[in-house]
Structure 1
Amino acid sequence: MKNREEIIEATKSGKTSTQTYYKINETAARRANDANSRYDYNPGSATAEYSNYIDKAIAIAERQKKRVDPMYHQKIDSLLDIYARKLAENMNKGYEIAGRVPSILIAGGSNFPTRKKENQNAAADRNMEEYREIQSLLDKIRSTGMGGISADDPQAIEKLQIKLAGLEKSQETMKAVNAYYRKHKTLDGCPHLLPEQIEKLKADMSSQWHLEDKPFASWALSNNNANIRRIKARIENLTRKEKFAFVGWEFDGGKVEINREENRLQVFFEGKPDPDTRAELKSGGFRWAPSAGAWQRQLTDNAFLAADTINAIAPLTGIKPTELQRKARRRKLEEMK
């Protein structure tokens, strides 16, 4: 990007985080100040405000890295950089909008361009809506690595495979421990458990709720096995999805694109769609994303089924979106032969 600066080393409390700070348009910030304030602009104040935002975001990211497995650190860094870039773009756009029409206190009431001011206010409202969405990225940073594994995660398959390996190891351990107990009628000396684990299992077996004469109850093995099957199915589904040859299309007044990185099917209009079209999009599960400038939903087969029903985004070719995907997959299969 043209407004990307050199990487700055930000040292906080003895810890060093490397994060790119993006350039703030000081000229636009000064113009916005002069159009809305009687006070002189303090040079560099807009950049300082932006840097303060980013410093706080870095602190949030560093705290989250300490809480989660290192496998999530790259995602946290990626979210942090997206936040830094989009915030700079949003602030610069805000200054540009604010400088379009001077305040009535500055310009005076005579021949004040009311219509231009209304357009300016509408643009400022849209920019503020985007600002709120950008701030929500901080919540994504705070939650990274704390919940389940999302299909949106580019490392989803790798993480699921790690989780599967852990479940399979647990299953084998439970079976081996039960077999040892069945043979020896004691857990003492069991090679599959640590001493503290043996003592914990003994305590569990002596409790009233432990009804079966074995360390690990049948339901525990059954539930774990069900989780193994579920994780295997998710891995298979995501692996198959990665091989899909999704394709976008053009429609009258815009285009549909595949965003693999964000795992989204995105609809871009040349202008603002009419209320009926917006209602169709919403009923089809599409939501407006100001940061992307697109209507979008998660990239799944259901997204294309929904697109089939939205007349406003029908492909110019006359072929339904789902059929376009089938043709693309057939072509890819032919290429793989």
Structure 2
Amino acid sequence: MNRKERQEARADRYRELAIKSSVESDVACRQSSEMASIIPMGQPIHGLADRKYREKIGAKMDKSIELSRKAEYFKQKAAAAESNDAVYLGDDDAVERLESKLADLEKKQETMKETNKIIRSKKLSDIEKHDRLIELGYSENGVREAFTPNSMGEIGFPSCSITNNGANIRRVKCQLEKAMQMKVTEDKEYKIGNVRVVENYQENRLQLFFPGKPDENVRTQLKHNGFRWSRFNGCWQSYLKRWQIDRAKEIIGG
């Protein structure tokens, strides 16, 4: 199972939890309503038993509200898991997705620069500017927005937008180079004491396979240093970094 499949499985699990909480919320609400229905409208409280019964009605309704909020929380988690389009170096399709992302950013950069060149030109008429923008791929609404001044009274893309997009291009290029290098780098496997260490370049993970459950002190150190237990791989793992390898050796050796 790759990361994308695990992401989809996580979204499905959150949806199931959302449905379960929603059903339980409806049940608690219905029970509260049924319990309240036997009390005549406006009837005052009669004795301790009556008070406790009404408290149970309130508790049922509070539970229904809490479960409803829980259902909404899991719905949001499912939506977030589905919409997460971040590219991780260990993804099977990391190179392809980064290449696509880079192409989109470069196209955006060219479009912003050409747009500014057109709408700020003193040699072109407004009609010519309009036609050039349409040729560039703008819709009529897009053309109108391009000529709408921003909060600073300027038209076109501000220089900071172009600068920030250029920084994103350089960042993605760096990621792409790393992803391409990782795809051709062979994994390394060795032992430190009785712990099997795997430098998994295909998944960008440093993996520690202990022969059994490590003691509490070691687990604490692992967690504090970015390692997490992977039930799927049956090991403690973190992102594959040079300093992380050195830290793992210190923890295991200690």
2:188 is aligned, of 247, 254, 257, to: 247
1:236 is aligned, of 174, 177, 180, to: 177
Provide the secondary structure at the position in 1 that maps to 2:131.
coil
- Matches of 1:167 and 1:286, distance apart in 2: 33
Deviations 1:268-298 (A, max 9, x none): 2222223333333334322223343322112
Note if contact 1:252-1:312 (Cα within 8 Å) is conserved in structure 2. Answer: yes
Deviations 1:15-59 (A, max 9, x none): xxxxxxxxxxxxxxxxxxxxxxxxxxxxxxxxxxxxxxxxxxxxx
Please list, as runs of the form range in 1=range in 2, the aligned pairs for 1:84-123 lying within 5 A after superposition.
none
- 1:264 matched to 2:199? The reply is no
Deviations 1:184-240 (A, max 9, x none): 1533212213322111212x22x5x1433x522222222222221221122122223
> CA 1:290/1:218 → structure 2, altered by over 3 Å: closer, same or farther?
closer
2:241 is aligned, of 282, 297, 300, to: 300
Aligned AA (1:189): D
- Matches of 1:231 and 1:298, distance apart in 2: 18
Q: Percent identity?
A: 31
Provide the secondary structure at the position in 2 that maps to 1:158.
helix
Deviations 1:123-142 (A, max 9, x none): xxxxxxxxxxxxx9xx6896
- 1:75 matched to 2:21? The reply is no
Note if contact 2:90-2:201 (Cα within 8 Å) is conserved in structure 1. Answer: no
> CA 1:251/1:143 → structure 2, altered by over 3 Å: closer, same or farther?
same
> CA 1:308/1:239 → structure 2, altered by over 3 Å: closer, same or farther?
same
CA RMSD of aligned residues (A): 3.4
Aligned AA (2:160): W
Please list, as runs of the form range in 1=range in 2, the aligned pairs for 1:40-189 lying within 5 A after superposition.
75-76=4-5, 80=9, 143-181=81-119, 182=121, 183-186=123-126, 187-189=129-131
Note if contact 1:277-1:312 (Cα within 8 Å) is conserved in structure 2. Answer: no
2:215 is aligned, of 274, 280, 290, to: 274
Answer with 1 or 2: which has the greater Rg: 2
Contiguous gaps of at least 5 residues in structure 2: 14-73
Deviation at 1:260, TM superposition (A): 5.0
- 1:211 matched to 2:153? The reply is yes
Note if contact 2:209-2:234 (Cα within 8 Å) is conserved in structure 1. Answer: yes
Aligned AA (1:195): E
> CA 1:143/1:256 → structure 2, altered by over 3 Å: closer, same or farther?
same
Provide the secondary structure at the position in 2 that maps to 1:188.
helix
Match of 1:325 in 2: none
Deviation at 1:247, TM superposition (A): 0.7
Provide the secondary structure at the position in 1 that maps to 2:238.
strand
Please list, as runs of the form range in 1=range in 2, the aligned pairs for 1:185-196 lying within 5 A after superposition.
185-186=125-126, 187-190=129-132, 191-192=135-136, 193-196=138-141
Provide the secondary structure at the position in 1 that maps to 2:180.
helix
Match of 1:225 in 2: 166
